[in-house]
Chains A and B, each alone.
Chain A
Amino acid sequence: MLFAIASREFRNLFLSPLAWSIMAVLQLILAYLFLSQVDRYMAFQARLGGLEGAPGVTDFVVAPLLQTVGFVFLLVAPAITMRTFSDERRNRTLSLLISAPVRMSDIVLGKFLGVLLFFLTMLAMVAAMPLSLYAGTELDTGKFLAGLLGLALLLSSFAAVGVFMSTLTEQPVVAAISSFGLLLLLWIIDWSGDSSREMSGALAYLSLQTHLESFMKGLFSSSDVAYYLLVSALFLILAIRRLDQQRLSG
């Protein structure tokens, strides 16, 4: 049933112009960024060639692109996730899912997977741009893949946060704003500076961004993977609890 809900959610997204326009705008902006990076690389290429240990095309083009992708997704993810549950509650269609012989966790996970699949589709479209460089040069495949994996994990936590926020309200816009707020807070939480060492360590650990950095450097660190998985699991469990509690309180 999980997959029935997930595939429905995924296909539902394509029924609204919102998802299409987000995909188009995102692709346009990132393509512009990608091309300008490629342009810069072409200009510097001659000088870089002479240097020992100079940054390659992966560092120069792909890494900045992927880093920006993470932040741009932060801006658009809430717009995609906002409708998952608030629309169902507003249109009173949630009772269809709840009256069906389906577990509450299947409903939440199904919606989450549907949204995540959509995010990964967008990510694949973005990844197609650096891939096109293979036509003329070699990329650092390991670094590139690590970056993509990091982004996929980041997107899964975006999706989980968004789905949870959507269970809280009947207003999609409120869900979007609040998930955007929470994600942004988690993104910048370690910017507060080094006033106290241990505090900033804890804050840095909480930040969505710091965990992405090692992936961007091509490092696969299991603690960073665990962080994203924990964030996703936490908000999914909260969403399930929230729906169960709604059944109790009416």
Chain B
Amino acid sequence: MDTKILIAVEKLCRYYGHHLAVDSISFELAQGEVLGFLGPNGAGKSTTMQMITGNLAPSAGRVTINGTDLLDQARLAKAEIGYLPEQPPVYPDLTVGEYLAYCARLHRVSKKHRGGAISRAVRRCGLQGVEARLIGNLSKGYQQRVGIAQAILHNPAVVVLDEPTVGLDPNQIRDIRALIGELGESHGIILSTHILPEVQATCTRVQIIHRGRLVFAESMQALQQRLSGKALLLETMTALDPAALHQVAGVAAVELVNSCRARVLFDGDNPAAALAACVASHGWGLVELALDRQSLEQVFVELTCNEDETTPAAAA
């Protein structure tokens, strides 16, 4: 096995009173993976993350971090985790530098490596220039970045980020996504979010949790394949003739959306080149020719809304 399993979660359950918030979730995270954790509000994302990081005790089940059981050897296991909760756990009265120094001490970063670790985290999260400022005076976006810096400070094997890009501006979001991608190469990352493009942009694996249960778990590659489907969207300048398109090799069906737009279903290889040639030869004027992708959003909505009808009001 060339990739190490960093987190193994087995049949994790969590009750709040009689309410089952997380129902027997199992998954694994290997080194070099970025796992996107999706779900509607209240689905159990944060609860699961709190259990993985030892902030909540599970009602049943096991969490193993890098081969160490989180319940039996909590301190050893926790040393391998960096956690950014939904609200960044920052002290408004401290400066960024003081805060990170404190976090480094808490995470047992040795005195020798402390300076290096802090300056690396500061650089990676783009915090240069604000180190001497009070965290309470920073904007929400900077506070969020301080929170991320705290999570990666001690170079943990696993980084758990609960909605890391909330409150950031688009540039910062891009930076953070790049950072997540960079971290994902050497660490294992679990990322919870409800921003779907974020998952598509950064994750190598996707899990959707709904009503405390995992309803979807696939690698991004498999997902892309599943999403890309077998259809092309075609748009032309002048009215097109579906019969002529049907002649193209590989085309199974042509659905006309309007006179200039059609959805072409195909079998086997993508016939885009042949279609383009066909359009050109008829002189229709090609405007658009693209794969019709089902978005992750559609999958998400399908999985999390259908369930509402089949299991009504489980929480009631």
Contact = CB atoms under 8 A, between A and B. Distances in A.
Interface of A: 1, 4-5, 8, 12, 15-16, 91-103, 247-248, 250
Contacts of A96: 89, 103, 106, 150
A91 B53 CA distance: 18
B83 A4 contact: no
Contact of B106 (A1, A92, A94, A248): A1
Contacts of A1: 105-106, 108
Interchain residue pairs A-B with the least CB separation, the first 3:
A96-B89, A4-B105, A100-B106
Contacts of A91: 87, 89, 91-92
Contact of A102 (B47, B57, B75): B75
B76 interface: yes
Contacts of A4: 102, 105-106
A240 B56 CA distance: 15
A101 B90 contact: no
Nearest to A245: B57
B47 to A, nearest CB: 8
Given A100-B78, A101-B75, A101-B76, A95 B106 contact: no
B54 A102 contact: no
A15 B136 CA distance: 13
Given A4-B102, A4-B106, A92-B85, A99 B91 contact: no
B29 to A, nearest CB: 17
B55 A247 contact: yes
Nearest to B134: A15
Interface residues of B, number: 32
Contacts of B81: 99
A191 B174 CA distance: 68
Contacts of B14: 250
B56 A101 contact: no
A8 B105 CA distance: 10
B85 A95 contact: yes
Contacts of A15: 93-94
Given A247-B55, A247-B56, A247-B57, A97 B91 contact: no
14 contacts: A4-B102, A16-B93, A91-B92, A93-B91, A94-B89, A95-B89, A96-B103, A99-B78, A100-B106, A101-B107, A102-B106, A248-B57, A250-B47, A250-B56
Contacts of B90: 93
Contact of A99 (B55, B57, B108): B55
B78 to A, nearest CB: 4
B108 A101 contact: yes
Contacts of A103: 75
Contacts of A100: 78, 103, 106-107
Contacts of B83: 95, 99
Interface string B182-219: 00000000000000000000000000000000000000
B126 to A, nearest CB: 21
A151 B13 CA distance: 49
Interface in B40-88: 47, 50, 53-57, 74-76, 78-79, 81, 83, 85-87
B161 to A, nearest CB: 12
Contacts of B78: 99-102
Nearest to A107: B106
Contact of A97 (B57, B74, B106): B106
A12 B87 contact: no
Given A8-B102, A247-B57, A93 B107 contact: no
A93 B106 CA distance: 13
Contact of B55 (A8, A98, A101): A98
A102 B54 CA distance: 11
A99 B152 CA distance: 13
Nearest to A110: B106
A106 to B, nearest CB: 10
Given A4-B106, A96-B106, A101 B91 contact: no
Interface-centre pick from A91, A96, A247 (highest chain B CB count, 10 A): A96
Given A101-B75, A101-B78, 20 more contacts: A1-B106, A1-B108, A5-B106, A8-B102, A12-B91, A15-B93, A15-B94, A92-B89, A94-B89, A95-B50, A95-B89, A96-B89, A99-B81, A101-B106, A102-B106, A247-B54, A247-B55, A248-B57, A250-B16, A250-B56
Nearest to A98: B55
Contacts of A94: 89
A92 B93 contact: no
A98 B78 CA distance: 9
Contact of A101 (B16, B79, B85): B79
A189 B301 CA distance: 63
Nearest to A96: B89
Contacts of B93: 12, 15-16
Nearest to B53: A99
B114 to A, nearest CB: 11
B153 to A, nearest CB: 11
Nearest to B75: A101
A91 B136 CA distance: 11
A101 B79 CA distance: 5
